[in-house]
Structure 1
Amino acid sequence: MESPDWFVIVNPAAGRGTDLLARTKQALAGQDISASVHVSADAADVTRLIDEAVAAGQRRFVAVGGDGTVNLVANALLGHEWTDPPTLGILPAGTGCDFVRVFGIAQDVEHAAGHLVGTDTYRSDAAVIEGDWGTRYFMNIAQAGIGAASATTADKLGFLRGLRYQTSFWLTLPGFARTDVTVRVGKRTYQGDAISVIFANGQFFGSGMNVAPKATLVSGEIDAQVISARKRQAPLLMRKAARGLHLGHREVHRLRGAVFSIETKDPWPVEADGEYLGLTPLRGRVLPGAIDIKI
């Protein structure tokens, strides 16, 4: 069976310094995949390319890069109205490719390209959040607090690859101030002080940390965690979170629901899929079955 045509977006900044465009074309050719390949200059360029493709009737897209690239492509796709969800393939090539881990997709372009062959897809939820900084969709995880501050620092530590998030966390922790938060998820509310709040659609972040082991992409709900731990408890909690064993900790408060929000006494940074957005407050909701992920 002939493979379907794909519209491929390559982030040239990903790929750990390699010629990602050439690698992508070679990987696609190796699988006899018919595709038009496009290099994006920036976020606006991604939106322009996808808008033009959608207008021309395209429904199958590929993001080549890390979680940030997937986020940009998903945002451009979800900005359109679809009768049936578009299909998104992912060729991991960035320093952080956590969203695809749950699908068992290889963490390199060459092996992941094989997943574009055939017709198997997984209908995945997405989520949308709003704040003073605007509206943003995300596929994997959004967070406020020290996690968001650490993600911002991690962008400057790309040379550390898989260790950059953990390193940035320890660099950020001493100077980060906890604050009083009000977190609403579904019909439940948490009020109290905290150091981090996570809104998980996917399961992994921070280069493989199993931060939301009970999150699923088909539940129609966000899996939220309010972390009220003290700084001295951080080493143990981080070790547990890496393996998905932290949910039983008394300072981890888990809430689930289709709508969610956070207000903070002091402004906290907010990020989604590794991209800094602005400051709290934010509100959001789950978009059930928004995108078909090619697996």
Structure 2
Amino acid sequence: MFASLPSNFQVLIIYNPAAGQSSDLKSTLDRVANLWRDRGWQVQIAATTAPGDATTKAQQAAQAGYHAVIAAGGDGTVNEVMNGLIGTTTALGTLPLGTVNIWAREMGLSMDMLKAAESMSKSELTQIDVGIAGNRYFLLMAGIGFDAAVTASISSVEKKRLGAIAYVKQAIQLAWNFRGVSPKLRIDGKRVRGKILMVIIGNSQLYGGVVKFTAHATIDDGLLDVCVIKGQGMLSAPRRLISIFARHYNRDPLVQYFQARQIEIRGKRGKVLPVQVDGDYLGKTPMNFRVVPNSLWIMVPPNADRSLWQAARG
């Protein structure tokens, strides 16, 4: 169910001064704030100063009664803000300012901040599910295995300097020697066997701004979608990607697709696998993942991908 924005809408913009490659950031955000003020909104702006600061500021905004907190940054900033809003009535919004901006793309926003702000001014409000990995909430996805190894090996300097190319460069370097492992993987209690290269646990659909590993995911169904990619090594991965692009999950024996409420993964004989959430390295297995239904309010602009909602699927 979607609701209109309340009158006298109060928002806090939290921005990451180090996100993306934007110049004149503060002046652009001031223009955004003035655009929204012209529509009767009350707008404040706050910069982050350290990792985790966005979560603290979002929690404080929710306690102070703000209607929404706008994450101006990449998906890492969106994740931090979201972690401060879980279980509150304060909604999450976003302005794209990062390397990939997956959530902004899911919401149909322009990568131009002023155009995105114009779209955000026409938003509605609704509640959605999120996932949790260990004790960290995620909005988009969690990755275990190869993609998390890539994420863990990229520095913030590389991300800022090269953008998305940094991920491609590092993926090519790691692919030659990366080998599948046989962890203890249970999806809603069912054991999944075989050598695994990567597991993607999706709350939403889009991955890396390009491919939909979890194309059947909706953000209001009380489930997480899980794509398991198997193989001896990453040299076989292009074949798996073709199956995923074509959404032929059931035709490729090395790609398995599930919908579940809980996922448990543990390494065998002391082996561990890296884990990332929403594009940021989180840690290593063992780790449990589960869905947290109807736990986050979000702002939904007019051009958001409606296939993200169960009702739109018919």
Please indicate, yes or no, whether the TM-score normalized by the shorter chain is above 0.5: yes
Q: What is the DSSP-based 3-state SS (H/G/I as helix, E as strand, rest coil) of the residue aligned with 1:77?
A: coil
The answer to whether 1:294 aligns with 2:299 is yes
Structure 1 CA distance for aligned equivalents of residues 62 and 78 of structure 2:
17
- 1:69, 1:283 → 2: CA distance? 23
2:75 and 2:8 map into 1 onto residues whose CA distance is 25
Aligned residues: 286
The alpha carbon displacement at 1:245 in A equals 3.3
Tell me how far 1:14 sits from its aligned partner: 1.2
Unmatched runs of 5 consecutive residues or more in structure 2? 1-5, 301-314
8 Å CA contact 1:99, 1:205 repeated in 2:
no
Could you report, residue by residue, the CA deviation over 1:241-260 in whole angstroms, capped at 9, with x for unpaired residues?
4x463524221111211111
Counterparts of 2:215 and 2:22 in 1: how far apart (Å)? 32
Amino acid in the other structure paired with 1:68: G
Question: Could you tell me how far 1:45 is from its partner in structure 2?
Answer: 2.1
1:77-92 map, 5 Å: 77-78=85-86, 81-82=87-88, 85-92=89-96
Change in Cα spacing, 1:233 to 1:158, as seen in structure 2 (3 Å) is farther
- Is the CA contact (8 Å cut-off) linking 2:240 and 2:255 kept in structure 1? no
Q: What is the alpha-carbon distance in structure 2 between the residues aligned to residue 11 and residue 292 of structure 1?
A: 22
Asked whether 1:276 is paired with 2:281, we answer yes
Higher deviation after alignment, 274-283 or 104-113? 104-113
The superposition leaves residues 246-279 of structure 1 with CA deviations (integer Å, 9 ceiling, x where unpaired) of 5242211112111111112211111100111111
Q: Secondary structure at the match of 2:65?
A: coil
Q: Deviations over 1:70-120 (max 9, x none)?
A: 110011222xx43xx431111111002112322212223221112332451
Note the C-alpha offset of 1:179: 1.1
The answer to whether the 8 A contact 1:14-1:20 is kept is no
Counterpart check, 1:120 vs 2:128: no
TM-score (norm 2): 0.83
1:262 equivalenced with 2:270 (yes/no): no
**In structure 1, which of residues 179, 183, 201 is the aligned counterpart of residue 185 of structure 2?**
183
Q: Any conservation in 2 of the 1:10–1:64 contact (CA below 8 Å)? A: yes
Tell whether 2:21 aligns with 1:13: no
- Which residue in 2 is equivalent to 1:208? 210
1:38 and 2:42 matched: no
Alignment of 1:15-164 (within 5 A): 15-31=20-36, 32=38, 33-78=41-86, 81-82=87-88, 85-130=89-134, 135-155=135-155, 156-164=158-166
Give me the whole-angstrom Cα distance separating, in 2, the residues matched to 1:21 and 1:235: 42
SS in 1 for 2:183: strand
CA displacement, residues 131-187 of structure 1 (integer Å, 9 cap, x when unaligned): xxxx11100010110010112234434433243333322221112232112222224
Shift of 1:209: 2.1
Q: Which residue of 2 aligns with 1:4?
A: 9
In structure 2, do the counterparts of structure 1 residues 246 and 269 end up closer, same or farther at CA, with 3 Å as the change threshold? Answer: farther
Partner of 1:252: 255
C-alpha contact (below 8 Å) 2:176/2:235 kept by paired residues? no
Deviation at 1:294, TM superposition (A): 0.8
Deviates more, 1:58-67 or 1:154-163: 154-163
Contact 1:187 1:257 in 2 (8 A): no
Q: Is the 8 A contact 2:61 2:69 kept in 1?
A: no
Check whether the contact 2:243–2:252 (CA below 8 A) recurs between aligned residues.
no
